[in-house]
Amino acid sequence: MAIDPVCNMFVDEREPPATAAVAGRTYYFCAVECKHAFLELRLGGRMETQPSQLVDRQGEPVSSQPIPTGVVAILFTDVQNSTQLLEEMGQETALTMLLTELDRQQQVVQRHGGYAVKRLGDGTMAAFAAPRAALLCAVDVQSDGGKDPKVPVRVGLHAGEVMVDGDDYFGKTVIMAARITARAGGGEIAVSEGFRCLLDPPAGWRFGSSRRIRLKGFPGWQRITMLERAEPEDQ
């Protein structure tokens, strides 16, 4: 079995839904969408294989918190419509914008005491020992003053038991967090029902109504909720 480098889902190498050969190595994906996300930011080999921990633009490792274990809050970010951004802005300009945004997200994660796990395509993955820290980080990702309005970012959150392999995470908690992120739109924060029940929203924000969805790889219906900015009268 192989592991999809975008969503960490296990993939049967004998019948993979999608593959990509890069620099002499074959990557296996659970869906064509994951393949596209993997290839978009690479831009024809401009970027080397992503490290398991975040690095700065010079390739130097950045400091991070000790890796959380046990029950962990997982946060994913993703740039919505990055393919359209590449087409509209051109590869060089789009790459600069995307790297600047990922650098900003990295700083936000570290500011909230999160563990910067890795960059995935045009997004990031982070882990937090405390769900509230993860939620506050998500809010800052969407409202930080350094955010480029031309780069729409979506954020997803889920918490649960994780499988740890070295400095990386695997398992259903990680996969669900990735799937939930894909259901958010640019500028939105989507959380699982379980995560929403763990804590109250921060000041100036509120949980919207939940909705039932189906997530690939999970049986039955799941519930997700969007974290929204509160109206003035609700603050």
Residue type, 27: Y
175-189: pLDDT as tens digits: 999 999 989 999 999
DSSP string, 55-112: B-TTS-B---PPPP-SEEEEEEEEETTHHHHHHHH-HHHHHHHHHHHHHHHHHHHHHT
Banded model confidence at residue 98, pLDDT cuts 50, 70, 90: confident
The mean pLDDT of the chain is 81
CATH superfamily of 52-234: Nucleotide cyclase, GGDEF domain (3.30.70.1230)
Q: Tell me the per-residue pLDDT of 39-74, one tens digit each, with 9 for 90 and over.
A: 654 433 333 333 344 555 555 555 555 788 889 999
What digits encode the pLDDT tens for the residues 9-34?
Answer: 778 888 888 787 766 677 788 877 67
What does the pLDDT read at residue 219?
85
Long-range contacts of 95-101 (CB under 8 A, 24+ apart): 95/41, 95/43, 95/46, 97/148, 97/150, 97/151, 98/41, 98/122, 98/151, 99/57, 100/148, 101/147, 101/148, 101/151, 101/153
Q: Which residues pair with 26 in a beta bridge?
A: 21
The answer to whether 64 and 54 have CB atoms below 8 angstroms apart is yes
Contact 207, 201 (CB under 8 A): yes
Question: Would you kindly state where each structural domain of the chain is located, as residue ranges?
Answer: 1-40, 52-234
pTM of the full structure: 0.74
pLDDT of residue 79 exceeding 70: yes
pLDDT over threshold 50, residue 113: yes
